[in-house]
Structure 1
Amino acid sequence: MNRWESIERKPAPLFAPTFGPLAGIRVLLNGTVVAAPFTATMMSDFGAEVIALERPKVKGDPARHQKPQIAEGDKHISGSWIQNARNKLSFSLETNLNIPESKEIFLSLIKNSDVWIENMVWIDKLGITDQMLLEVNPKLVICHISGYGTAGFGGDQRQINRPGYDPLGQSESGWGLLQGYPDREPYYAQQYVGDYMTGLMSVNGILMSYMVAQKTGKGQIIDVSLTESWMRVMDDNFVLWTQSQYLKHRQGVMQSAYQPGGVFKCGDGGYVNLGSYGKTAYNNVLKGFGIDSNKYSYEECSSSPEAVASPLGRELDGIFKKFFAEHTAQEATDICIDSKISAAHIKTAEEVFNEPHWHKRGDWVKYTDQTLNKEVEVFGIIPKLSETPGQVWCGAPALGQDTQRVLTDLLDYSQSEIDALKGKGVID
């Protein structure tokens, strides 16, 4: 009998405090930058106990080593790690299951988990199959996160085998070709926004599957691809193509079908994003800006691309631009807020952090980062729940800091057994 077969499953939480709606769920994470770890973080922020497996040979998750780094003395760690690795335990394990000791530990962890999240893509080369894990734990929810999907859900194997990164998903989904100016190369969104969106899609799939597993005793497999996540937020683009062969094109930062709509430069060099779709919103903007709505009627200036492009429409556009050029970005935004005009100052991270509104909502939290052993202040938890709110109970872990206690307290390894593993490339 294998060691993992003889151990008894221990319910969660064993290491995390009890809080939030996901208390009692244990998540095992085999994932690096960015979608898979973020999926786990969203769950851990609301009470799930997350054990993150990090490969010792490559010094853990590459997110630890991203630049720029935050330093404290001779210690340093990435800002991304500080923000996104909180509320997790770090377990140092070589996940090549062709190594017998690694296989014992990994399957023991699977037996004790409710959810397994991975974005390694080619798990078969590590000796892992979905069927193997479901035999160990029939109620397990398995979440595969990839660039283009996994073979179990169909597709072209050549596409499935491609490495996937956020900008590539934006490109392959059609989203990227809509960003930027028509006379320049397309843009793509920065800051891994697609990875984070994919993480949210994954959380949704996990929670739905977990509900089914609790009712039926049967786990299942989830396939979430970065590219398909981008495809899902393409709004009407695919319907327009399939039904009328109409393709949207990038139009820069200004709307061409109505006005005012887009990004306006202000007198202090700042920018305001203003949107006013529809006649009521249009008239509200003109009233707030003191512009004659009889002379510049909605029908003649904003009701269609032709109206926007008309001489009167272009004259009105000049008035809008002059208004913003005569005000600072904050002045223009304040006028818009007071007039209930939908507009926003395009802010730096510093300006967002200094906005009192977000502090009053409790959006910034402090905790001790485990690598730096230093208190840090970061963005907190959303969404906000009235009865079972999330919380941060520990900072981002140092590499492998929880290996010993997970082996001892969860998997019942003795100290002599742990000592015997050391130096073999299994846990160190």
Structure 2
Amino acid sequence: MTNERKALIKEYGPLAGMRVLGSGSIVAMPTALGLLGDLGAEVINIERPGYGDSMRMLSPTSSKTGVSNGWMQEARNRMSMALELNCNIPEVKELFFELIKEVDVYMENMVWLDKLGIHDEELLGVNPKLVIVHISGFGRAEFGGEEGVIGRASFDMIGQAFSGFMHLNGQPAPHEPQITGPYTNDYVSAYMAAFGALAGYISAQKTGKGQVVDVSQFEAMARMLCDNFVSYTENGKVTARSGNVNERFQPYGLFEDKNGEFVTIGAFGKNVYLRFMDAAGLDAEKYTFENAGNGVEAVMSAHGRALDREIREWAASKTAKEIEEILNAKKVPASKVNTAEDAYKSEHFQSRGDFIKYVDQTSGQEVEAFGIVPKFSATPGDVWRGAPTMGQDTETILKELLNYDDAKISSLREQGYIG
């Protein structure tokens, strides 16, 4: 660990030596912990005694172990500490502040920190190099925001709606916008939180000074909307939903094969467009890139729509596998829409080691889950153990990290402060 601190887990991955403390529950903050843990960060997750992270109860559950499938996937590589995190209680505040001294990053998505007596200024006073990452629906007031919006409750789909993301997904009006899954906004927020934590950590290592990082669900989602806002500010245009039809260039979308399966085909740019037309045996002189393949005026013209019909007829005459083989041979991007079964049985997924096995701590049984991303050549990530039981590491953390003795631990447990 940094500064010769005692490590509680084995060393592995590019983030070895980084210690992260988290408090809260599903989905964004714990997922961010998992992303860091997969790459070697030592992760301590605080759970409320008697309750735990709500993801423990999230359906569906394993038919083999009875444990939440989401929990088994996402909660690996973390230590669980059962702590009633209310710093209005002196004993808890003492314990929590001692933990804060020993970590590099504190991440939370609890929102109600003030009521629990947890304040950024105090935490930074205890550990000046600390990076504090707040994850919420609408951000924290210190960074601005409208009164009445800051502090609103939020879930994944709320962020999708407020950010403008949901407006762009689904079939064109009058059809309804589409909620995307699984938990798209939560996962985007988790990646943004992990990114913010790492940026803050690097800065703290260079400057010796920590800081506060504010991650809101709606802003994390809004950041990935490409030209959506600039199209409005520069052109006064509110982008409309177009479903699976790309109005800017074609073919670029979803096409049905002869068996009712679906394939994505993407031919962006003139060279790829010409390779596609050749592969599909379509007339590139009749349907030129300029008059049928590129730009809203061309793609949505009668000529462009006629080409779309010919492409769909071509796709409907073949199987998904045939379409993939024909187009990929010509370097035209194409892929069948895979199910979980398709992906699991894919030689490509398997040969890249994308499915790994480890022992789930709750059931004590081996599970198979999706593996580590991204991959590193010199310091690969790993799974040092599966998802923990509630409070599995409370005593280890108190004894080995904070040097608490048995009497003090017993007293905290008797008072219901730890589990």
Q: Structure 2 length normalisation: TM-score?
A: 0.96
**Is the contact made by 1:170 and 1:227 (CA closer than 8 Å) also made in structure 2?**
yes
CA distance in 1, matches of 2:214, 2:5: 25
**Is the contact made by 2:6 and 2:401 (CA closer than 8 Å) also made in structure 1?**
no
Give the one of 382, 396, 399 matched to 2:373. 382
Once the 2 structures are TM-superposed, how far is the Cα of residue 12 of structure 1 from its aligned partner? 4.5
Greater displacement, 115-124 / 97-106? 97-106
**Is the contact made by 1:147 and 1:169 (CA closer than 8 Å) also made in structure 2?**
yes
Match of 1:293 in 2: 284
CA distance in 2, matches of 1:308, 1:208: 42
Distance 1:149 1:343, change over 3 A: same
Q: Following superposition of structure 1 onto structure 2, how do residues 8-27 of structure 1 map, counting pairs within 5 Å? A: 11-12=4-5, 14-27=7-20
Q: Which amino acid aligns with 1:16?
A: I
CA distance in 2, matches of 1:38, 1:221: 19
Indicate yes or no: 2:54 matched with 1:62: yes
Q: Following superposition of structure 1 onto structure 2, how do residues 249-268 of structure 1 map, counting pairs within 5 Å? A: 249-268=240-259
SS for the counterpart of 2:323 is helix
Indicate yes or no: 2:67 matched with 1:77: yes
Q: Following superposition of structure 1 onto structure 2, how do residues 166-205 of structure 1 map, counting pairs within 5 Å? A: 166-182=156-172, 183-205=174-196
Once the 2 structures are TM-superposed, how far is the Cα of residue 193 of structure 1 from its aligned partner? 1.9
Match of 1:129 in 2: 119
**Is the contact made by 1:69 and 1:77 (CA closer than 8 Å) also made in structure 2?**
yes
Q: What is the number of residues matched between the two proteins?
A: 417
**1:285-333 CA distance string (max 9 Å, x none):** 1100111212222233223333334443333222211111122222212
SS for the counterpart of 1:53 is strand
Once the 2 structures are TM-superposed, how far is the Cα of residue 13 of structure 1 from its aligned partner? 5.3
CA distance in 1, matches of 2:294, 2:129: 55
Runs of at least 5 residues in structure 2 that lack an aligned partner in the other structure: none
SS for the counterpart of 2:366 is strand
SS for the counterpart of 2:93 is helix
> What value does the CA root-mean-square deviation take over the aligned residues?
1.6
Give the one of 102, 114, 118 matched to 2:108. 118
Once the 2 structures are TM-superposed, how far is the Cα of residue 375 of structure 1 from its aligned partner? 0.6
**1:168-226 CA distance string (max 9 Å, x none):** 11111111111111130000211112211211111222122112212222111100111
Q: Percent identity?
A: 45
Match of 1:321 in 2: 312
Match of 2:236 in 1: 245
Runs of at least 5 residues in structure 1 that lack an aligned partner in the other structure: 1-8
Q: Following superposition of structure 1 onto structure 2, how do residues 102-113 of structure 1 map, counting pairs within 5 Å? A: 102-113=92-103
**1:365-409 CA distance string (max 9 Å, x none):** 110000111111111111111111111111110111111111111
Distance 1:266 1:13, change over 3 A: farther
CA distance in 1, matches of 2:3, 2:269: 58
Greater displacement, 222-231 / 276-285? 276-285
Indicate yes or no: 2:203 matched with 1:212: yes
Distance 1:203 1:309, change over 3 A: closer
**Is the contact made by 1:12 and 1:23 (CA closer than 8 Å) also made in structure 2?**
no
Q: Which amino acid aligns with 2:376?
A: L
**Is the contact made by 1:92 and 1:399 (CA closer than 8 Å) also made in structure 2?**
yes
Once the 2 structures are TM-superposed, how far is the Cα of residue 414 of structure 1 from its aligned partner? 1.1
Give the one of 144, 155, 175 matched to 2:134. 144
Q: Structure 1 length normalisation: TM-score?
A: 0.94
Q: Which amino acid aligns with 1:278?
A: G
Indicate yes or no: 2:382 matched with 1:356: no
Once the 2 structures are TM-superposed, how far is the Cα of residue 424 of structure 1 from its aligned partner? 2.1
